[in-house]
């Protein structure tokens, strides 16, 4: 897969126990939707999408590394981050600044919880939900 910002081939990296595809020149990272997470998705709370946590979708000129579709950008208020997602449900792009922000949030959570394993689990849970195919379906439907 190629970076959405340049032609570099994305490399697998593990961030906080989560495998991502990162641009070697530091543009950001791609998160594939995890098919295995479909089972977990049953617990998804619809309220989360009713305009409280997800808002302001715009089209970008970045393209999905899988299918080339224009990525759609939205704000995820829970973490106050901007994510770009593929409307064909391939996954998410996190710009460098955003992935740094996520790391920062993780560090703060670690401080709060005094246990990195807990903070890691917390973020992994959020990502898991974000990456479930039906979350993207709902996301896509919300902004149609």
Paired with 21 in beta bridges are 12, 30
In this complex, which beta carbon is closest to Zn ion, that of residue 3 or of residue 139? 3
In this complex, which beta carbon is closest to Zn ion, that of residue 77 or of residue 96? 96
Contact residue for Zn ion among 13, 17, 51, 67 (CB under 5 A): 67
In this complex, which beta carbon is closest to Zn ion, that of residue 27 or of residue 54? 27
| Rounded Cα distance, 87 and 99, in Å | 21
What are the residues whose beta carbons fall under 8 Å from the beta carbon of 99, sequence distance 6 or more? 15, 28, 29
| Rounded Cα distance, 35 and 74, in Å | 22
Q: Helices H, strands E: what count in the chain? A: 3, 7
Is 127 a binder of Zn ion (CB under 5 A)? no
Helical H segments across the chain, by residue range? 96-113, 116-130, 133-142
Query: Interface with Zn ion by CB under 5 A: which range of 10-18, 84-92, 93-101, 133-141?
Result: 84-92
Closest approach, Cβ 73 to Zn ion, in A, equals: 14
Closest approach, Cβ 18 to Zn ion, in A, equals: 19
Closest approach, Cβ 76 to Zn ion, in A, equals: 19
Contact residue for Zn ion among 2, 16, 66, 128 (CB under 5 A): 66
Burial zone of 121 (CB within 10 Å; 0-12 exposed, 13-18 middle, 19+ buried): middle
User: Interface residues with Zn ion (CB under 5 A)?
Assistant: 3, 5-6, 8, 23, 25, 27, 64, 66-67, 69, 86, 88, 90
């Amino acid at each position: 897969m190629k970076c959405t910002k340049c032609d570099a081939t994305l490399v697998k990296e593990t961030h906080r126990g989560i495998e991502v595809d990162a641009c070697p020149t530091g543009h950001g990272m791609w998160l594939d939707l995890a098919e295995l997470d479909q089972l977990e998705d049953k617990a998804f709370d619809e309220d989360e999408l009713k305009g409280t946590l997800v808002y302001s979708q715009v089209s970008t000129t970045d393209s999905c590394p899988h299918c080339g579709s224009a990525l759609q950008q939205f704000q995820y208020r829970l973490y106050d981050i901007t994510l770009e997602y593929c409307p064909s449900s391939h996954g998410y792009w996190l710009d460098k600044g955003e992935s740094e922000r996520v790391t920062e949030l993780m560090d703060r959570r670690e401080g709060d919880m005094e246990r990195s394993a807990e903070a890691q689990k917390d973020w992994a849970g959020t990502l898991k939900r974000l990456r479930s195919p039906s979350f993207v379906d709902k996301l896509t439907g919300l902004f149609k």
